[in-house]
Amino acid sequence: MIESKLISNSIFTDISFNNLEELLVQTRVKSHALMNQTHSDKVIHVKQAGSYKSDGIFTSNKNLGLVVRTADCMPVLIKDNSHIGAVHIGWRGVKNKIIDNAIRHFKLSDLLMSVGPHAQSCCYEVKEDVSKYLYKYINTRKGKKYLDMSQSLKDLSNEIGFQIEVSTICTICDNSYNSYRENKTNKRQYGFIWI
């Protein structure tokens, strides 16, 4: 389990921790909201526990933890002085700029963003169907194209001026993490944030 150095009360799990209820007990959070993630650009304000059809949720409610589930996509946790958020971002989310939809609900001068383990450019090979949209974030090695998803968030941080931390752990080549691209697993790790 990784605790964010930038955002208090936020963690990212690995394969050793796959029980959400146990996570709630350990963090002493009474309830949680999560997402039925579909690679959309939809971000929802949530006020109570439940599962929401979106790829981003945010709240100002205390004791309502927010959960993002990933197995190669970026688990993104965000916070300002009054709100917290959790966002699921894969290549479609980068293309559709879901992070723009999320951060517009936050005070940008106080925004903190933590990005957990995800597929990194060392291993995240893509074809023309993806690279034609995200050419700005493509690294080419030996004729193959590799996507650097988190560079889009680093660029946004430089443009707007908020603080960001980005994990360098690659879920594809690090066996401590679930990776859908590696073995089509249906298991996920959690990004979890609470007030």
- State the amino acid at position 165 in one-letter form: E
Rounded Cα distance between 39 and 147, Å, is 17
pTM equals 0.95
**Eight-state DSSP code of residue 120:** -
Q: Are 72 and 172 in contact, with CB atoms under 8 Å apart? A: yes
**Eight-state DSSP code of residue 85:** E
Of 57, 62, 69, 78, the closest CA to residue 6 belongs to 78
- pLDDT recorded at residue 63: 84
- pLDDT recorded at residue 101: 96
Rounded Cα distance between 138 and 126, Å, is 9
Residue pointed to by tokens 């894969």 = 90
Of 185, 171, 175, the closest CA to residue 123 belongs to 171
- pLDDT recorded at residue 123: 95
Rounded Cα distance between 176 and 135, Å, is 30
- Taking the chain (195 residues) in runs of 10, the rounded mean pLDDT of each run is 93 88 86 95 97 97 94 97 97 96 96 98 94 94 95 95 96 95 92 95
Rounded Cα distance between 57 and 190, Å, is 14
- pLDDT recorded at residue 48: 96
Of 152, 156, 159, 163, the closest CA to residue 121 belongs to 152
